[in-house]
Amino acid sequence: MPVSMVGRADHLAELVRAWSQLGSTPLPVVITGAAGMGKSLLVAAALDAFTPRPDLVLSGAARLHTPAPYDWLAAVLSRRTLDLPLPPDALAWLAQLPDAPRERFAPDALLRLAVRAVRTMVGAGPAVLVVEDLHALDPASLNLIGELAVASEPPALLIVTSRPPETPVVARTLARLSGVPGAIRQHLGPLSPTDVASVLSEVYPSTSPAVAQAVHERTGGNPYWLTELLVAAGDEKSLVDEPLPEHLRLAGAGPAPDLTAREVEVLTCLAAGMSNKQVARSLGISIRTVTVHVSNLLRKTRSASRTEAALWAVHNLTSR
Ligand SMILES: Nc1ncnc2c1ncn2[C@@H]1O[C@H](COP(=O)(O)OP(=O)(O)OP(=O)(O)O)[C@@H](O)[C@H]1O
Ligand SMILES: [Mg+2]
């Protein structure tokens, strides 16, 4: 049920201004917030609102929970023809082509080539570079993003979204980006009761303030949970009156998830400190499938990290 974006007008305006005033150097924009707070929606809204329209948007996200080196760049390259002036072997490696030679490059050389690849794609610019979910990126990508942020060219808005950092290397990268002079730093918190009311009124025009208040409490102001509740409730009365569906049961600040049997198994493995590879092996499923389960688990348990999900498991799984 698509509803319009609420409560982020100031954030959006700041991004639009940054693009219209972009100078000749890269300008980092760091947007943090817990899972489902609306980071991706804000970036999409900003890209829509930018004037003049960006000629070039290079966008990538971590594609796996244990991504290969330079996963952000590989994601970007996967949507383009590989006609960059780089040594073909290195380009194949950076693009993660299946026939690429294995690790024959010195890390420093690769980093320089990765930076050059981005610069070549941007050309004279200006461009928008979007790094979604930096918290889940591999260290080489973090290095690359950090280098791009402090470089003297090209002219580009470097928009980064991240859940709150869980590892020192992610925290350091966010700090490095935020420390660039003029960098924009935004943190998305929960929606206010008024914002929640305005979302509700799009679907149910006559919603009372009391209902909006109750829904705000039930969802903790998290827009993802709000949209989930709207879908699950189906009608206005059910927003507060009817027992919530299993996966939206109240728990602490917000709804607790209903996990599938397989998700419980995966979560139990995470709580035991297993890597995705170990989980895959012990459950007899592919690593790719594990990453999908982990991704759903983070969202359902409203965890910012595997560690948090594991903690959630310790507190909640035993009583199930
Ligand atoms: N400000 C908002 N107003 C209305 N709906 C919103 C708002 N922000 C987010 N949503 C909705 O909430 C859901 C989650 O938003 P989004 O995917 O942007 O969150 P996110 O912060 O990127 O989460 P993740 O950390 O999982 O990537 C989407 O369905 C989105 O449309
Ligand atoms: Mg997102």
What are the pLDDT digits (tens) for 33-75?
888 899 999 999 999 999 999 999 999 988 766 667 899 999 9
Mutational test site, ligand 1, from 159, 162, 224, max ligand atoms within 8 Å of CB = 224
For ligand 1, what atom is nearest to the CA of residue 188?
21
Contact 223, 38 (CB under 8 A): yes
Is residue 304 in contact with ligand 1, taking CB distance under 6 Å? no
Q: Is the pLDDT of residue 287 over 60?
A: yes
**Among the residues of the chain, which ranges form H helices?**
9-20, 39-49, 71-77, 88-94, 107-122, 139-150, 168-178, 193-203, 209-219, 223-233, 261-271, 276-283, 287-300, 306-316
Residue 186 φ then ψ, to 5°: -125, 140
Supply the residue whose CA is at minimum distance from atom 6 of ligand 1: 223
- Report how far residue 208's alpha carbon sits from residue 215's, in angstroms, rounded to the nearest whole number: 11
Q: Among all ligands shown, which has an atom nearest to the Cα of 224?
A: 1
DSSP-derived letter for residue 12 is: H
* Ligand 2: centre distance to CA 113 (Å): 28
| Ligand 1 atom closest to Cα of residue 132 | 27
User: Which string of b and e fits 134-172 if b means at least 16 CB within 10 Å?
Assistant: bbbbbebbbbbbbbbbebeebebbbbbbbbbbbeeebee
Is residue 44 within 6 Å of ligand 1 at its C-beta?
no
Report pLDDT digits (tens) over 119-170: 999 999 899 999 999 998 999 999 999 999 999 989 999 999 998 887 889 8
Q: What is the average pLDDT value for the chain, to the nearest integer?
A: 87
Predicted confidence (pLDDT) per residue in 9-22, tens digit: 999 999 999 999 99
Cβ-Cβ contacts under 8 Å for 127 (sequence gap 6 or more): 54, 55, 56, 57, 58, 121, 154, 155, 156, 157
C-beta of 41 in contact with ligand 1 (< 6 A): yes
How does 75-89 read in b/e, with b if 16+ C-beta sit within 10 Å? bbbeeeeeebebeee
Q: Which ligand is nearest to the CA of 136?
A: 1
pTM, 2 dp = 0.79
220 vs 174 pLDDT, higher one: 174
- Binding site membership of 135 for ligand 1 (Cβ less than 6 Å): no
What pLDDT shows up at residue 124?
Answer: 92
Query: Looking at ligand 1, which atom is closest to the CA of residue 222?
Result: 12
Contacts of 130 (CB under 8 A, 6+ apart): 43, 47, 57, 58, 59, 60, 159
| pLDDT average, residue stretch 79-103 | 87
Residue 171 Cα, ligand 1 centroid: separation in angstroms?
A: 22
pLDDT digits (tens, 9 = 90+) for 176-211: 999 999 999 989 989 999 999 999 999 999 899 999
